[in-house]
Structure 1
């Protein structure tokens, strides 16, 4: 399972249930285990660029940035 640590600003926008787990149908219930992942853990921040909400991901160990683009 990939762990994504979000900022308070991003956390406020996420659809979470009472236990803090995403309620999105795309999240597989079997993937909620405690096992590690080769992708590791990430930090995510919500940015606003030209009135659009964007999420910036940073890998904890490698400081690799991912900024998804919407074509």
Structure 2
């Protein structure tokens, strides 16, 4: 596997489509607002469990929220 693969996301766009703030989404999925911010900016890659919970909360498929660049 290419070690240069970076997990990117469209979390901010999906969150905005639902009119949710970072804090709102954080409360929905049980993490801090800082965690949502870190995921959106690429500073933190969510666990598989958190990624799935985010997909459910935002009504998106995994591949619609996350991708490799």
TM over 0.5: no
**Larger RCO (CA under 8 A, 6+ residues apart):** 2
Larger Rg: 1
More helix by share: 2
For normalisation by structure 1, the TM-score amounts to 0.30
More strand by share: 1
